Structure 1
Amino acid sequence: MRRIRVIGIGPGDPDQVTLEAVAAMHSVDWFVVADKGPDDPLLAARQELLTRHVGSGAQVVAVRDPERDRADPADYRGAVSDWHEARAEAYEQVILERPGDVGFLVWGDPAFYDSTIRIVERVLARGRVEAEWDVIPGISSLQLLAARHRIVLHEIGQPITVTTARKLRESVAAGADNVLVMLSARIDLDGLDDWHIW
């Protein structure tokens, strides 16, 4: 039976790819990557990473990433679900067209704010693709941040909250005072002047 491997590749530095991830990259026949358009720097970065760890012969199939409807912020979950379904359809088609084991390269760790695991689940639930699958963890941006600043992410005996920039205010209002924020291209830090922000 063919395999699908969801491979965490870290935050972007090829030196931060784990040995397990490199072995997983060598174990597949080809890779699916999302193509977000002609100016997508992540497509080139993935190719560079593959060249470094697998060699220049790594086969990459770039699948055009469907547009996500951002018109109605109130229906965020519905829009994301529709986007996931469109991605699942596109990936399913590519997987059905090509034989062999396939790898999905995921920035950071696949468990943190990434859709690939959910999309692979959708592909398999549709019933047309039969495959075993697994997930290879990667170094997350949170781990990199802590290491570069030589900090521990939590206070002694205290919890941490991992959230998005979009949900930061809600988390703080609910009492979270040790917050790790991801997906933060634009973040409003007003009112947090007395916080330590890294």
Structure 2
Amino acid sequence: MDLWLIGIGTGNPEHVTLEAQRALRDAALILIPHKGPDKSDLAELRHRIIADARTTAPVVAFDYPTRDPSIPYKDRVRAWHDEIARRWQATIAEAKPGGPVALLVWGDPSLYDSTLRIASRLAPAPTLRILPGITALQALTAAHGITFNTLAGAVTVTTGRRLRDHGWPEGAETVAVMLDGECSFQTLAHRDLVIWWGAYLGMEEQILDHGPLAEAGPRIIAARAAARADHGWIMDTYILRPRGLS
């Protein structure tokens, strides 16, 4: 089976590449996750992207499982990936496509999504084709009009969980934080930092804030909570850098 993982950006249909649109037209089946009524706008956005591509491929939804919070984090994620893979397999088997199967993935599936790990669980192993999309980090730096790194400087990309558990990465200059549902920047002992934050990047609902962490942090925590309550979900990311570096 040919499985195409199509990066669709961070929420702006105009970020979908011509290559991605062509792949959607050439696909034999398009899988769409159904994540419940609270996230119906995410499904609607995927359907809009599919409609813009003018594809005739059948579109089939599958119910997205939830994680079991009662088991340790890594075991929880592995079990979740196992179940998603089973649902992909069952949906594809029932649809019996005569060609490539396409999945629309937020951003770039190789950078901050688990789609590749889930795909590796399929049997027999599919032939993968990955079409990159605009990542959250690209969208964030563009929205704020900043460089990703300082002059000749390195960037550490990490998760909110690691920031909470291990603090500021040793020797880091610029830190990009993803998958952070708990505003983990507030746990840092290193406070003389500047933050650039964005939520719903590329979408009409986009929210941005930046400034010294001590000042912007409380604003971001409040804005994030309000937006999550309004929409039922939120996707955000941020970059941290010691004050004075550029």
TM class, shorter-chain normalised?
A: 0.7 to 0.9
Give the aligned partner of residue 174 of structure 1. 170
One-letter amino acid of the structure 2 residue matched with residue 143 of structure 1:
Q
Q: Which runs of 5+ in 1 are unaligned?
A: none
Normalised to the residue count of structure 2, the TM-score between the two structures is 0.71
Report the Cα offset of residue 11 of structure 1: 0.3
- Structure with more relative contact order (C-alpha pairs < 8 Å, separation 6 or more): 1
- Is 1:104 the counterpart of 2:99? The answer is no
How many pairs are equivalent? 190
One-letter amino acid of the structure 2 residue matched with residue 47 of structure 1:
H
Give the aligned partner of residue 52 of structure 1. 52
* Residues 49-71 of structure 1: per-residue CA shift (max 9 Å, x gap): 2112235x552211111121122
Match of 1:122, SS state, is coil
Provide the identity percentage: 38
Contact 2:8–2:106 under 8 Å retained in 1: yes
Whose strand proportion is higher, 1 or 2?
Answer: 2
Contact 1:50–1:58 under 8 Å retained in 2: no
Question: In 2, distance between residues paired with 1:79 and 1:192?
Answer: 31
Q: Judging changes above 3 Å, is the alpha-carbon distance between structure 1 residues 60 and 171 closer, same or farther for their aligned structure 2 residues?
A: farther
Report the Cα offset of residue 102 of structure 1: 1.0
Give the aligned partner of residue 139 of structure 1. 134
Alignment of 1:59-78 (within 5 A): 59-72=58-71, 75-78=72-75
Question: In 1, distance between residues paired with 2:129 and 2:149?
Answer: 30
Contact 1:6–1:134 under 8 Å retained in 2: yes
- Is 1:43 the counterpart of 2:60? The answer is no
Question: In 2, distance between residues paired with 1:184 and 1:60?
Answer: 31
Instruction: Select which of 147, 150, 158 maps to 1:155.
Output: 150
Report the Cα offset of residue 184 of structure 1: 2.8
Normalised to the residue count of structure 1, the TM-score between the two structures is 0.87
Give the aligned partner of residue 159 of structure 2. 164
Report the Cα offset of residue 131 of structure 1: 4.1
